[in-house]
Amino acid sequence: LPEKPKIFDEQDKEVTGVAGPYVEDTSLKLTCVVSGGKPMPRLRWWRDDKVIATLAPVDDGSRLSLLELRIPKLTRDYFEAVYTCTADNTLLVPPLRVNVQIQLYLRPLLVEILAREQPLSVGQEAELACRAVGARPPAVITWWMDDRQMPTIAVQKNSEDRNETVSILRWIPRMENDGHTITCRASHVKLEHTTLETSLSLSLNFVPIVTLELGSKLNPNDIEEGDDVYFECVVRANPPAYKVVWEHDGQIMTHNQRAGVIAGSAHLALQGVSRDQAGKYACTASNVEGDGRSQPVHLQVIYKPVCKTSTITIVGAAFNEPATVKCEVDAFPPPKNFQWTLNNSLGSIELEPSKYVIESPGRSVLNYTPTSEGDYGSLACRATNLVGQQVEACRYTLLPAVKPDQPFNCSSLNLTDNSAELRCVPGYDGGLQTTYVVEAWETGNLVANVSSLQPVWKLQDLGSGKALKLLFYAYNARGRSETNVLRIHTLSHLALHT
């Protein structure tokens, strides 16, 4: 009988079990060698149950039988194909045989980024899956942002037949990734120039990025009362914002054309802006990712000075005694100059600047000493800032100082067994600072004496069930008023517990 067949490759190295691996699309030659046998054996190459090559017995005296297997192009159909060489020279004994498996390096055929059901959102961990098919050994998958490899570690899994590889990338998209390209590359560890790649242009969802801008034609330092002002809310959002809300000093604004407030999704117009509309403005845009709020923009409205109080103030001043008159105005920017005038029977007189000072921004104090009846009359104070002079002056009536009128309409607001809360309506204060007094008397004895700058008092420790006589009066530097009387009874303990 012949010896068992042996298989040799092109380099005359014996092949046992596996031939290769060979590069896809290259050629292959294997030689089946059998020694001895009488008569000389017949050699055959088999694939599966099909004979693909045969060598008839030849007795050339060498005692060797050789049969070549040639494959000019190793396509992937030959991957892990099993070939068998058999030798036989008799029907009495089964043929001798040896098997060899063809192993190939196969390049990847397909790479794709699998579709996602959910969009990618900035700041939220996401998964991307990339599938590579056809590479042997399995492809090595890498992820790239533009032309830079991503440092994120991805999980790579192979299918059972090792024909498919899936890489799972877990990462947190950042805002700067929006609009860039993410690429999945499938490479072969042994084969150059076989890398396949596929790319995905990133359109990330993100919370609106909002910027508030004052109209480009407006000078923020030169907006006067009555000007038209407009803002632009610049919104960058994906998906687009479905709502924009405007705020003024933290309060939500609504469209009110009658009031000159025109609020839209991108613009806010203030027609004939007033000083009350100065302050901080902001806009907030909303989409499914959340709410984005702009940094506030401070609107300055410059306006002429106006009085803090619109009523005419009565000021009392005694002969040859200094009186202090305070003039307070609202203005932006603060006024730099004040002017005081006195209007009396002789006409209008501008008072000398030495008689008044600017005590603080928006506040001037006049120190005035009347020396004759002609020094009384109507005082007017006007302030001037960069916008102009005050239109309506702050007015004061300067009268000779007198003692105050008595308080009237006095009543008890809350009466208990031991206390009383009292209030009166003040009379004319005589033009001077006035103090209001209440005295509580019980059968000739003074029980309480309380003073206040306003005609409101609370008397304590009066005693239970007391019949009290209350005296109300006022006084200032010129004297004391007449007295007003009120009688009350404090509650008794017995009445409280029945």
Q: What is the 3-state secondary structure (H, E, C) of 139-178?
A: CEEEEEECCEECCCCCEEEECCCCCEEEEEEEECCCHHHC
Class of domain 304-400: mainly beta
Mean pLDDT for the stretch of residues 289-295: 97
* pLDDT bracket for residue 159 (50, 70, 90): confident
How far is CA 237 from each of CA 164, 180, 431, rounded to the nearest angstrom? Answer: 38, 16, 64
pLDDT of residue 433: 86
How far is CA 463 from each of CA 350, 437, 468, rounded to the nearest angstrom? Answer: 59, 20, 10
Of residues 225, 330, 230, the one with CA closest to residue 281:
230
CATH T-level fold of 110-201:
Immunoglobulin-like (2.60.40)
pLDDT of residue 495: 56
* pLDDT bracket for residue 494 (50, 70, 90): low
pLDDT at position 180 over 90 = yes
More confident residue, 402 or 238: 238
Alpha carbons 342 and 321: distance in angstroms, whole number = 17
CATH T-level fold of 408-496:
Immunoglobulin-like (2.60.40)
Model confidence pLDDT, tens digit, residues 308-339: 998 988 888 888 888 899 999 999 999 999 99
pLDDT of residue 496: 53
What percentage of the chain carries pLDDT values higher than 90? 73
Alpha carbons 275 and 349: distance in angstroms, whole number = 32
pLDDT of residue 70: 95
Of residues 101, 95, 102, the one with CA closest to residue 5:
95
pTM here is 0.66
pLDDT of residue 322: 87
* pLDDT bracket for residue 270 (50, 70, 90): very high
Three-state secondary structure call for residue 53: strand
Q: What backbone torsions phi and psi does residue 353 show, to the nearest 5 degrees?
A: -55, -20
Determine contact, residues 316/432, Cβ cutoff 8 Å: yes
Determine contact, residues 80/125, Cβ cutoff 8 Å: no
DSSP state of 354: G
pLDDT of residue 313: 87
* pLDDT bracket for residue 263 (50, 70, 90): very high
Chain CA centroid to CA 153, Å: 30
Chain CA centroid to CA 471, Å: 64
Mean pLDDT for the stretch of residues 342-365: 91
pLDDT of residue 351: 93
- Three-state SS annotation for 269-325: EECCCCHHHCEEEEEEEEECCEEEECCCEEECCEEEEEECCCCCEEEEECCCCCEEE
pLDDT at position 31 over 90 = yes
Alpha carbons 114 and 117: distance in angstroms, whole number = 10
Q: What backbone torsions phi and psi does residue 293 show, to the nearest 5 degrees?
A: -115, 140
Query: Taking all residues of the chain, what is their mean pLDDT, rounded to a whole number?
Result: 92
* pLDDT bracket for residue 249 (50, 70, 90): very high
DSSP state of 52: E
- Helical (H) or strand (E) element with 494: helix 493-496
Residue type, 321: E
Query: How many residues comprise the chain?
Result: 498
Mean pLDDT for the stretch of residues 449-476: 92
pLDDT at position 261 over 60 = yes
pLDDT of residue 157: 86
Determine contact, residues 404/473, Cβ cutoff 8 Å: no
CATH T-level fold of 208-301:
Immunoglobulin-like (2.60.40)
pLDDT of residue 337: 94
How far is CA 34 from each of CA 6, 9, 86, 235, 383, rounded to the nearest angstrom? Answer: 6, 15, 9, 83, 123
* pLDDT bracket for residue 474 (50, 70, 90): very high
pLDDT of residue 51: 94
Cis before residue 21, ω within 30 degrees of 0? yes
pLDDT of residue 402: 86
What is the CATH number that goes with domain 6-105? Answer: 2.60.40.10
Model confidence pLDDT, tens digit, residues 81-119: 999 999 999 888 999 999 999 999 999 999 999 988 889
Determine contact, residues 315/325, Cβ cutoff 8 Å: yes
pLDDT of residue 344: 87
Of residues 434, 415, 422, 400, the one with CA closest to residue 470:
422
pLDDT of residue 152: 66
pLDDT of residue 432: 81
Residue type, 102: I
User: How deeply is 255 buried, as exposed, middle or buried, from its count of CB atoms within 10 A (0-12, 13-18, 19+)?
Assistant: exposed
Model confidence pLDDT, tens digit, residues 443-454: 889 989 999 999
CATH 2.60.40.10 domain position(s) in the chain:
6-105, 110-201, 208-301, 304-400, 408-496
Alpha carbons 426 and 404: distance in angstroms, whole number = 9
pLDDT of residue 399: 86
pLDDT at position 460 over 70 = yes
